[in-house]
């Protein structure tokens, strides 16, 4: 087996709160990945202008998003280069934040659709061994209190061709950065980051 080349990992955070629980969780995942030999770039959507998809469908023709000239144009090359992707959103009203929803909808430009109705589709990110993690944090203690949050990230990623390796929920945490009080959570997230890092460097895995 040839030596693994550095393959970038990318994490997308979608909390409005700088230094909040999602930020801490992403820091732990990145620590685990780095310890396993793969540094992870972390992008916070609160620092980038990502407009909602306007459904113009120009991407079907152009094979990229030409509907908006916003910060997402800087993120597309990072997404394409990274074989491992982490999506992290706090639970807001049983779902991802509006920023994460906008980000996910803007990945629609990676689909190819057939001309026959009902239109069949495939993803240009598929078949490349891409791996992903999704995670959330919520104030309330029951798994029902996170509602659709994990599924809202995992399902579109799966359709786009990622294998979602773990879906991580931290509860019950409200105060800014209060997840720091949970060392077991830190260990779980570091382990997930390491798992992702190893998965994208192991070229014996099927795609």
Q: Where are the beta strands (DSSP E) in 14-94?
A: 40-44, 84-90
Candidates 121, 174, 203, 207; binder of ligand FMN (CB under 6 A) is 174
What residues does 95 pair with on adjacent strands? 92
Q: Which is nearer to ligand FMN, 113 or 174 (CB)?
A: 174
Candidates 36, 38, 45, 91; binder of ligand FMN (CB under 6 A) is 91
Q: Which is nearer to ligand FMN, 46 or 68 (CB)?
A: 46
Side-chain-side CA neighbours of 136 within 13 Å: the count stands at 27
Name, in order, each residue with C-beta under 8 angstroms of 3's C-beta and a sequence gap of 6 or more: none
Least distance in angstroms from the C-beta of 183 to ligand FMN: 17
Least distance in angstroms from the C-beta of 174 to ligand FMN: 4
| Residue 163 backbone class (left: φ over 0; alpha: ψ -120 to 50; beta: rest) | beta
Least distance in angstroms from the C-beta of 159 to ligand FMN: 24
Least distance in angstroms from the C-beta of 28 to ligand FMN: 13
- Looking at the chain, how many residues does it have? 207
Side-chain-side CA neighbours of 33 within 13 Å: the count stands at 29
- Cα–Cα dist 129/30, whole Å: 20
Scanning 2-10, 39-47, 89-97, 155-163 for contacts with ligand FMN by CB under 6 A, the matching segment is 89-97
Q: Which is nearer to ligand FMN, 17 or 63 (CB)?
A: 17
Instruction: Catalog residues that contact ligand FMN under the rule CB under 6 A.
Output: 15, 17, 20-22, 90-94, 137-140, 145, 147, 173-174, 176
């Amino acid at each position: 087996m040839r030596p693994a080349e550095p393959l970038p990992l990318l994490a997308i955070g979608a909390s409005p709160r700088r230094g909040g629980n999602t930020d801490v969780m992403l820091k732990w995942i990145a620590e685990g990945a780095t310890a396993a030999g793969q540094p992870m770039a972390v992008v916070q959507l609160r620092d980038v202008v990502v407009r909602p998809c306007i459904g113009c469908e120009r991407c079907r023709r152009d094979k990229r998003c030409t509907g908006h000239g916003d910060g997402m144009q800087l993120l597309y090359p990072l997404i394409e280069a990274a074989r491992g992707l982490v999506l992290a959103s706090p639970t807001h009203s049983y779902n991802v934040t509006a920023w994460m929803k906008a980000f996910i909808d803007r990945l629609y430009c990676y689909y190819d659709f057939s001309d026959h109705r009902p239109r069949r589709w495939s993803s240009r990110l598929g078949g490349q061994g891409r791996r992903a993690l999704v995670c959330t944090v919520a104030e309330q203690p029951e798994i029902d209190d996170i509602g659709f949050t994990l599924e809202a990230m995992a399902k579109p990623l799966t359709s786009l061709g990622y294998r979602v390796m773990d879906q991580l929920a931290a509860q019950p945490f409200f105060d800014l950065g209060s997840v720091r009080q949970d060392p077991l959570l830190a260990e779980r997230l570091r382990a997930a980051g390491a798992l992702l890092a190893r998965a994208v460097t192991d070229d014996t895995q099927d795609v």
